[in-house]
């Protein structure tokens, strides 16, 4: 951390992007940033975790293998219960999303690490991926019958044309936005809170004199209390993202339910 006065405790600075490798194609800047680096780290961690934990395929699983199995079964149960049995075709997609978001969130909690999911463009890209998948699958499986999703029963025709169908369409189209804002806002707010309280510790311990320095214990306790909450939020948001993905896939597979 650079010690510029004032800038030192800026809680937003942790979200700054730095180019690690400058790449410029045409007028597009596709440099390899610290965000991309952390994504690669998350993917490598997932691959290592799943590979190493399943190399020794024992019947009675060891610690690592059972963790890997639990993560598998957790997501598989979730997909099965929300999207039905034919939703299991999309299990690899949902599992990859879940693991990527979980690892990106969890690694972001390590001090000095960057959190890719605290940038809305990353979460929006993930949400758009889900949205495009849902649209393609919906039209592929049901043809134009997918549009039944926007045509709820039990409503007078006039009301349907004027109000209900536009509302359904707007609700449907706003899904990727709310989907991405949810994850992004949670991660952003959590990291700002952590950073704020952590900087209070330093500010009080350095800035105050004598016995007042002991006041720094209060924000320290707060930081310690916030950390498990953040771990919970990191897991919960990955879970929420995955379960909503399977709910949307359920809409694509069985419209009109």
Helices (H), the chain: 34-55, 63-83, 91-108, 120-142, 157-159, 165-173, 175-207, 217-253
* 19 lines the binding site for other proteins (CB under 8 A): no
Which C-beta is closer to other proteins: that of 190 or that of 219?
A: 190
Q: Please compute, for residue 51, the number of CA atoms within 13 A of its CA located in the half-sphere on the CB side.
A: 6
Q: Are 20 and 33 in contact (CB under 8 A)?
A: yes
44 binds other proteins, rule: CB under 8 A: no
Q: Which stretch binds other proteins (CB under 8 A): 8-16, 65-73, 134-142, 204-212?
A: 65-73
Q: How far is the CB of 157 from other proteins (least distance, A)?
A: 18
In angstroms, the CA 243 to CA 231 distance is: 18
Does 237 sit near other proteins (CB under 8 A)? yes
Of 55-63, 85-93, 102-110, 218-226: span binding other proteins (CB under 8 A): 55-63
One of 34, 88, 151, 182 touching other proteins (CB under 8 A): 182
Q: Compute the distance between CA of residue 85 and CA of residue 229 in angstroms, rounded to an integer.
A: 34
Gap between the Cα atoms of 182 and 185, Å rounded? 6
Size of interface with other proteins, in residues (CB under 8 A): 32
Structure-token pair, residue 116:
């890719």
Which residues fall within 8 angstroms of residue 254, CB to CB, at 6 or more apart?
84
- The reply to whether 25 sits near other proteins by the rule CB under 8 A is no
Q: Which residues in the 187-216 window bind other proteins by CB under 8 A?
A: 189
**Closer CB to other proteins, residue 216 or residue 233?**
233
Residues that bind other proteins (CB under 8 A): 59-61, 66, 69-70, 73, 81, 163, 166-168, 170-171, 173-175, 177-179, 181-182, 185-186, 189, 229, 232-233, 236-237, 239-240
């Amino acid at each position: 951390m650079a010690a510029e006065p004032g800038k030192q405790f800026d809680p937003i600075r942790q979200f700054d992007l730095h180019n690690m490798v400058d790449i410029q194609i045409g007028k597009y800047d596709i440099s390899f940033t610290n965000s991309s680096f952390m994504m690669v780290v998350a993917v490598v961690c997932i691959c290592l975790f799943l590979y190493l934990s399943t190399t020794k395929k024992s019947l009675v699983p060891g610690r690592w293998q059972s963790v890997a199995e639990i993560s598998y079964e957790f997501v598989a149960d979730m997909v099965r219960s929300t999207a039905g049995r034919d939703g299991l075709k999309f299990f690899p997609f949902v599992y990859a999303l879940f693991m990527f978001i979980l690892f990106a969130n969890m690694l972001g909690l390590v001090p000095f690490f960057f959190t890719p999911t605290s940038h809305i463009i990353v979460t929006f890209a993930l949400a758009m991926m889900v949205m495009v998948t849902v649209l393609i699958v919906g039209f592929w499986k049901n043809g134009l019958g997918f549009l039944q999703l926007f045509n709820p029963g039990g409503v007078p025709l006039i009301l349907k044309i004027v109000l209900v169908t536009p509302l359904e369409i707007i609700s449907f189209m706003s899904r990727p936005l709310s989907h991405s804002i949810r994850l992004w806002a949670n991660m952003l707010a959590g990291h700002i809170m952590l950073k704020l309280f952590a900087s209070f510790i330093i500010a009080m311990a350095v800035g105050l004199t004598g016995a007042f320095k002991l006041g720094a214990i209060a924000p320290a306790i707060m930081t310690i209390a916030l950390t498990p909450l953040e771990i919970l939020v990191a897991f919960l948001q990955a879970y929420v993202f995955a379960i909503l993905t399977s709910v949307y896939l359920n809409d694509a597979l069985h419209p009109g339910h």
